[in-house]
A = this chain, B = another copy of it.
């Protein structure tokens, strides 16, 4: 696979880069961002990787320009990889609205036409992208995963579906029960069809019951989040984890909304959480 570097910017002693490549999994050209901290320049060193999954409407740019992650990544010596949120390009089907199609891949493998050809973000993020990153950069197979909103859903689901794949997982304002909220119902109906039984494989609240690994979940949720009651519903995850005996740290943060101002405020604690697990 050929990687083309299209951005290269010094940042906190390391480099904030963006790469473009042809994705076999998605059948289109994709971009991803990678922050290489100063420790990446040490000859012979290999670093662990945090994968960051962004929310609806985002590209690989939002997180790297607005979250302030590079400072923490430089402190901890962690590489941060932020993929795009869906397949891209003229050949990729799209829909009206911000919550389906491009920018709204929901980190699943679609089974329904016209989506099933390109919308395979689960396999891209879990398999193709790490294989690419681990072959191109001085990183090893220590992986962590986190994300925001739709990307928080993605982080939880990918960790729960793939035991042993990630050493730690966290989420900011995740869609914890997509099968039960409007964003998820719209996307799952389109990507997965009408059979709600098939949705359970992509729903964190459904997955915790059968999780083969008790990887602790760290979740921050703003209490002032405009989507908390309609789309996010952290109480459903709390109940599912209590029932399954799955370890969960759910922190409700008074006053905080759904924005990057919320996420930036607690990202340092999440980065420390991941660094501890990655470097244990």
Interface residues of A (CB under 8 A from B): 9-13, 16, 65-66, 68, 70-71, 222, 224, 253-257, 259-262, 264-265, 268
The residues of B that contact A224 with a CB separation of less than 8 Å are: 10
Cβ B10 vs Cβ A222 within 8 A: yes
Cβ A261 vs Cβ B222 within 8 A: no
Give the dominant DSSP class at A's interface.
mixed
The residues of B that contact A9 with a CB separation of less than 8 Å are: 257, 259, 261-262
| Given A16-B261, A261-B16: A10 and B256 interface contact (C-beta under 8 Å) | yes
Q: Give the copy number.
A: 2
| Given A10-B222, A10-B265, A12-B264: A65 and B68 interface contact (C-beta under 8 Å) | no
Query: What are 12 pairs between A and B in contact, CB < 8 Å?
Result: A9-B259, A9-B262, A10-B253, A10-B256, A10-B262, A10-B265, A12-B264, A13-B265, A68-B68, A68-B264, A70-B261, A71-B268
| Given A65-B66, A66-B65, A66-B66: A71 and B264 interface contact (C-beta under 8 Å) | yes
